[in-house]
Structure 1
Amino acid sequence: MILYRRSGLATGAALLAAPLAAPSLSLAQPAPGRVVFGSWGGATARMWRESFGAPFTAATGIPVTVAELPDPAAAVAAARGRPQHNVALAASFQAAHLATSDLIERLSPDEIPNIRHVPEEHWVRDPQGRLLGMPIYFVYLGVAFNNTLARAADFASWEGLTERKWRGQISVTRPIFLAPYDLSLYARIRGGSEADIQPGVPMLEAVARNSVSSYSSMATLQQQMSRGEVTACAFYSGQIQMLRKAGQREVEMTLPREGGLVLSYVISIPKNAPDKAAALRFLNDAIDPAKQIMAARSGYIPLSTNVTLPPEVIQEIGMTPEEVRARNWSPNWYTIAADIEARMRLADQVLDRAR
C-alpha cells in the first residue's frame, strides 16, 4: 500500500508562491553595512554562520546575521519585494522561479567577478543571460540504498528502480522536488530534456508503482533506509555522506552509468533589498577556497574550480569534484522553473495513479 501524503502538492505550492501573510520571523531591516542572510535552519545555518559569516565579518568588518527559516525562497516570495534579508540561499530552480516573478536582482559578472571560477554551465541565468546569484555548491542526485538489502550493481542503471522485484521497497519524494529533479532526470534518460519532460513520465510512473511511501522529510527517509524499511531511493549525495560519516555504514550511494543530476544552490539578492553593496561583497567572498572546503566537510561539493579538497574529503565524496561534475548533468533551471506548477501537478497525478 502506497502511503502518499496528499498535503505534498499544497505544501510545495506554498513554497513557490507568495503567501498573503507576512513571514512569521520578525527581523529588523538590514542596516547599511550589514548582511542579513536567509538560510535553512539547523546544520546549514550553523555552517553559514561559522564557516562563511564569521570569517567575512572578521575580514571586512561587515556584520552578518544568519536568519533560520523553513524555506528561504518562500520567505523571499512572501515579502513581495519588501525583503527582510539582503542575501538568501536557494536551490537553483527556486532562484529561477523567484526570477520569473521579478523577486530577485539580476546581476552581471562584473558585479560578482569571482563567478568566473565557476564553469558557465553552472551559472543560473534568465533568458536574457543575466545572473540570478552566485552558484555556491552542489550535491548530486544518485541512488541511495541499504547495503543489507541491495547492492550497487542492482542500480548500475537508473532503470533498476523500475524493476518489479523492488515493488513496495522504494521511496519517492514530494512533487515540489520530484518535478524539477527526478522527472527532469528521467526525461533525459529516456531521450527527452528539461524542456521535453514527457519521455520521463512512464519511467516516473514505474518507479512510483514500486514505492512504499512518499517521504515527507530527509530525516524520515534516512531513518527508514537505516532500519531497512526502504531499500532504495533517488536521494542526495550530501545526506548519505553525512550519514556514513556519523557511522551509519549500512546506507550507501551509487551513481548509475547514465549519470545523475547536479543539484546546485545559489545565493541571491532579493529584489529591493537594502545594502546591495554589502550583499554583493558577501556573494563574491563566498567562493573563497577556505570557505568552500568547510562546506565540503558538511557534504556540499564546490562548483568553483579554484578549490583543492583535502584527500579525506575526496574519500568521503567518493570522487573528485571534477569527476562528480563530469558525470552529472546540470540542466537549465530557468526552463524548469518557468512552468514548475504544471510540472508539480503532473508529478502529483503520477503519484495518484500509482496508488
Structure 2
Amino acid sequence: MPKLLKAKCIAGVSFLALATGIGPAASEELLIATWGGGVEAVWEEAFAKPFKEETGLDVRIVPVPTPEAQLRTQAGDPQYHAVMVTYPQGANLLKDGMIELFDPADIPTAAETNPDYLMRSEDGKLAGVSPYFMYYGIAVNTDLAKPEEFSSWSNLGDEKWRDLLAITRPIYLSSYDLPIMAKAMGGDERNPEPGLELLKKVAANTLTTYSSIAHMNNLLTRGEIAAGPYYSGRVWHLRQQGAENVTMVAPKEGVLMIPYMLVVPKGAKRLEDTKKFLDFVSRAEPQLRGSILGGYLPLNSNAVLPPEAEEQMGMTFKELMERVYQPDWQYIAEQERDRINMLEQLIGAVE
C-alpha cells in the first residue's frame, strides 16, 4: 500500500445546496462561491460588505471545498452568480465554454489590472477579473523547524524531514508544485523532469496529503508537520488569527505567482448586478483591504501596499515581484490531465 493518505473525493453537492439554502430559484443575494478555511471571511469583509454599503446589493460569500468543481457540477443550472477559481482552472473553463465572457467596456476598472493577469478569449472578451494573487512558497512550523532550513526548494527532499511534510492533491501538484520545483531544479513547466525527481523525494517525506485549506491549517498549527508547499495568503491569515508558530519562506530559487480569477458560470442570472461586483473587486481599495486581512496581494496597478503589509510579508512588494515566477498557465492547463495521471502514479509508487 502507498504510504501517503489519499485525499477523499468531495461529494454531496445537492446536500450542500440544501444546507445553504441555495437552489435554482434566484436568491435576492448575489451568491459568490469561494474556498473555506478563512477565505470566505476575508471576502466578506474586504469585498462583500463594502459593496453592499456602496450599491445596496446583498452579496453572500459561500465557502465550498472546490469552487471550480461546483461550477462544473452545476453546468446548465448554475446556483452561484460568480465563482473564484485559480488561473489554470479559469483557462480550462474558458476552453470548455463554461463561463460568461464580457466586453471590456462592461467592467471598466479591469483596465487597471496588468493585462498579463487578465484572461481573454480569442476575440478579446474578458473571461472574468483577477483581483489578487498569492505566491506559493514553503510554510514552516517554527516549533519543529527553522525557516532557514527551507531556504531552497530542494530542502524538502532532505531525509531529515521523513514523515514531517504534507503535500496537496495531484490536481494542484500538477499546476503548482511541479512547475515551481521544475524551475528550481533547472527546468520549467515545459521541461518538468527535474521537478519530478525532487517531487519523488518530497513524496517519500510526506506524512499525508491534505484535503482542504482547513486541513492544512490544522496540520501546521498543531505541529503535526514541520513544513509543506503552501499559499502565502493562508499563512498570512493564520498569523492574523494569532498563530505565532507558522511562517512563510520564499526559497532562493523563487516562488510561484498564482493569480486568482472571479468568473461567472455560463447561464448565471443577474448579469448586470454581477458585472458591478466584478468591477468593484477590480478596484485598488477593496484589493488593499484584502491584502491587510488575508495577504491577498493586489493586481490593480494603482494599489500601493502599506508598510504594515510589507512588514508582515517580510519583504517589500518590489522585492517580492523580483522573486516571483509566472509560468505559462495556458500550457499548464493544456497538460493538466496527463500530468495529474503522472503524479498519481508517482505518489502511488512511494513506499
TM over 0.5: yes
The one-letter code of the counterpart of 2:17 is: S
Structure 2 match to 1:302 = 298
C-alpha deviation, 1:259, in angstroms: 0.7
> Quick check: 1:24 aligned with 2:17?
yes
The one-letter code of the counterpart of 2:117 is: H
The one-letter code of the counterpart of 1:177 is: Y
Structure 1 match to 2:314 = 318
| Residues 40-63 of structure 1, C-alpha deviations (whole Å, 9 max, x = no match) | 346333333343223223323333
Structure 2 match to 1:292 = 287
C-alpha deviation, 1:307, in angstroms: 1.5
> Quick check: 1:151 aligned with 2:151?
no
Q: Residues 340 and 148 from structure 1, CA distance in 2 versus in 1: closer, same or farther, beyond 3 angstroms?
A: same
C-alpha deviation, 1:111, in angstroms: 3.1
Q: Residues 65 and 146 from structure 1, CA distance in 2 versus in 1: closer, same or farther, beyond 3 angstroms?
A: closer
The one-letter code of the counterpart of 1:144 is: A
The one-letter code of the counterpart of 1:304 is: N
Report matched runs for 1:167-246 at 5 Å.
Answer: 167-246=162-241
> Quick check: 1:281 aligned with 2:272?
no
- Does the CA contact (< 8 Å) of 2:2 and 2:349 recur in 1? no
Q: Residues 341 and 23 from structure 1, CA distance in 2 versus in 1: closer, same or farther, beyond 3 angstroms?
A: farther
Q: Residues 347 and 126 from structure 1, CA distance in 2 versus in 1: closer, same or farther, beyond 3 angstroms?
A: farther
| Separation of aligned partners in 1, 2:16 and 2:187 | 38
C-alpha deviation, 1:343, in angstroms: 1.6
The one-letter code of the counterpart of 2:219 is: Q
Q: Aligned to 1:354, what secondary structure does the other structure show? A: coil
> Quick check: 1:98 aligned with 2:60?
no
> Quick check: 1:5 aligned with 2:8?
no
Q: Aligned to 1:5, what secondary structure does the other structure show? A: coil
Structure 2: which 5+ runs fail to align? none
The counterpart of 1:267, out of the listed 218, 240, 262, is 262
Q: Residues 69 and 157 from structure 1, CA distance in 2 versus in 1: closer, same or farther, beyond 3 angstroms?
A: closer
Structure 1 match to 2:107 = 112
Calculate the TM-score normalised by the size of structure 1: 0.86
Q: Aligned to 2:349, what secondary structure does the other structure show? A: helix
Question: Over the residues paired in the alignment, what is the CA RMSD in angstroms?
Answer: 2.8
- Does the CA contact (< 8 Å) of 1:184 and 1:194 recur in 2? yes
How many residue pairs match? The answer is 347
Q: Aligned to 2:85, what secondary structure does the other structure show? A: strand
Structure 2 match to 1:338 = 334
C-alpha deviation, 1:130, in angstroms: 4.5
C-alpha deviation, 1:233, in angstroms: 1.0
Please say which of residues 299-308 and 144-153 is displaced more in the overlay: 144-153
The one-letter code of the counterpart of 1:306 is: N
C-alpha deviation, 1:268, in angstroms: 0.9
Q: Residues 222 and 64 from structure 1, CA distance in 2 versus in 1: closer, same or farther, beyond 3 angstroms?
A: closer
Structure 1 match to 2:53 = 58
The percent identity for this pair of structures is 32
Q: Aligned to 1:171, what secondary structure does the other structure show? A: strand
Please say which of residues 34-43 and 137-146 is displaced more in the overlay: 34-43
| Residues 305-341 of structure 1, C-alpha deviations (whole Å, 9 max, x = no match) | 2122332222112233343233111223232222322
Q: Aligned to 2:207, what secondary structure does the other structure show? A: strand
Q: Residues 324 and 84 from structure 1, CA distance in 2 versus in 1: closer, same or farther, beyond 3 angstroms?
A: same
Structure 1: which 5+ runs fail to align? none
The one-letter code of the counterpart of 2:79 is: Q
The one-letter code of the counterpart of 1:133 is: G
Q: Aligned to 2:256, what secondary structure does the other structure show? A: strand
| Separation of aligned partners in 1, 2:7 and 2:38 | 26
Calculate the TM-score normalised by the size of structure 2: 0.87
Q: Aligned to 2:104, what secondary structure does the other structure show? A: coil
